[in-house]
């Protein structure tokens, strides 16, 4: 840490005692073999990083935790097939994890803009999925801010020559949608946030305690959710731009 940006030593305060707050962990199979064990091990690392987080007056309200894994293609393919939607080949579709307003009208307005930006970039809106969650372990102060969590599936268009080009298109869709939604009237865009939008990885996160992530997101308990690696982070709050709606202060 560069102490030049911190206050000078005074009284009982000494900048040498300052430390970075976030706890980060990573686990991977050396040969890239995907399994549910990598996900479970990542969640265990996250729980081991509980001491890097913090709670408020509500002991069940955390300051943020999450996990990044590879897109579990077969799991999502099965889930969407049950709804009558067939996904493109792995790598030819992206998954957006979205936090959306609880108000139905505001949510519809946000989803409409996302759909418009997908088409505007020459990509295909494949479908939507409601992400199952279990909020029974959350504190009441957290439930008051809990968003609707949905996944949007985007097919690669002809103007994206390969997966790297597709990733760039997904980035543009994300940014243009965020900007447009932030300008919605009557504050309809409040509560919208995109934790991840990629054809390679997906992020499950929120204003949660470390041990709540795997319990809240039911997907993470499914043996079909596999990955060759897990990247976890405990304590998001020092970096508001990474938080999204599910936070206790404005970004």
Active site residue 110: no
How far apart CA 79 and CA 179 sit, in angstroms, is 30
Active-site pick, 22, 54, 131, 180: 22
Beta strands in 4-147 (DSSP E): 23-28, 65-70, 93-100, 124-130
How far apart CA 150 and CA 53 sit, in angstroms, is 26
- Degrees (nearest 5) of the Cα angle 153, 158, 160? 75
Q: What is the pLDDT of residues 46-72, one digit of tens each?
A: 999 877 776 777 777 777 899 999 999
How far apart CA 151 and CA 128 sit, in angstroms, is 6
pLDDT at position 47 is: 92
What are the pLDDT tens digits along the chain (251 aa)? 444 567 888 998 888 877 656 778 999 999 999 999 999 999 999 999 877 776 777 777 777 899 999 999 999 999 999 999 999 999 999 999 999 999 999 999 999 999 999 999 999 999 999 999 999 999 888 888 899 999 999 999 999 999 999 999 999 999 999 999 999 999 999 999 999 999 999 999 998 889 999 999 999 999 999 999 999 998 754 333 333 334 433 32
Return the number of other C-beta atoms located less than 10 Å from residue 19's C-beta. 7
Instruction: Tell me whether strands 65-70 and 124-130 are parallel, antiparallel or unpaired.
Output: unpaired
Q: What is the pLDDT of residues 20-51, one digit of tens each?
A: 567 789 999 999 999 999 999 999 999 998 77
Residue 61 φ/ψ, nearest 5 degrees = -110, 110
Average pLDDT for the chain: 89
pTM score, whole prediction: 0.85
Domains of the chain (ranges; CATH) run 23-242 (3.60.20.10)
């Amino acid at each position: 840490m560069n102490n030049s940006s911190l206050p000078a030593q005074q009284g009982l305060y000494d900048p040498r005692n300052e430390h970075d707050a976030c706890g980060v962990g990573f686990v991977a199979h050396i040969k890239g073999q995907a399994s549910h064990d990598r996900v479970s091990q990542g969640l265990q690392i996250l729980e081991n990083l509980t001491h890097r987080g913090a709670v408020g007056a509500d002991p069940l309200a955390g300051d943020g935790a999450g996990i990044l894994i590879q897109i579990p293609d077969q799991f999502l393919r099965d889930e969407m097939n049950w709804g009558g939607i067939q996904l493109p080949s792995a790598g030819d579709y992206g998954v957006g994890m979205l936090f959306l307003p609880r108000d139905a009208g505001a949510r519809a307005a946000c989803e409409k803009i996302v759909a418009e930006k997908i088409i505007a970039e020459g990509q295909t809106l494949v479908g939507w999925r409601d992400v199952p969650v279990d909020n029974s372990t959350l504190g009441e102060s957290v439930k008051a801010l809990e968003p609707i969590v949905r996944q949007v599936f985007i097919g690669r268009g002809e103007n994206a020559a390969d997966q790297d080009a597709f990733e760039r298109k997904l980035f543009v869709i994300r940014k243009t949608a965020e900007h447009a939604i932030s300008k919605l009237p009557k504050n309809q865009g409040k509560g919208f946030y995109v934790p991840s939008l990629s054809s390679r990885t997906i992020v499950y996160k929120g204003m949660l305690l470390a041990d709540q992530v795997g319990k809240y997101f039911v997907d993470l308990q499914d043996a079909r959710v596999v990955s060759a690696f897990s990247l976890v982070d405990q304590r998001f709050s020092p970096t508001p731009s990474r938080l999204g709606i599910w936070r206790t202060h404005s970004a």
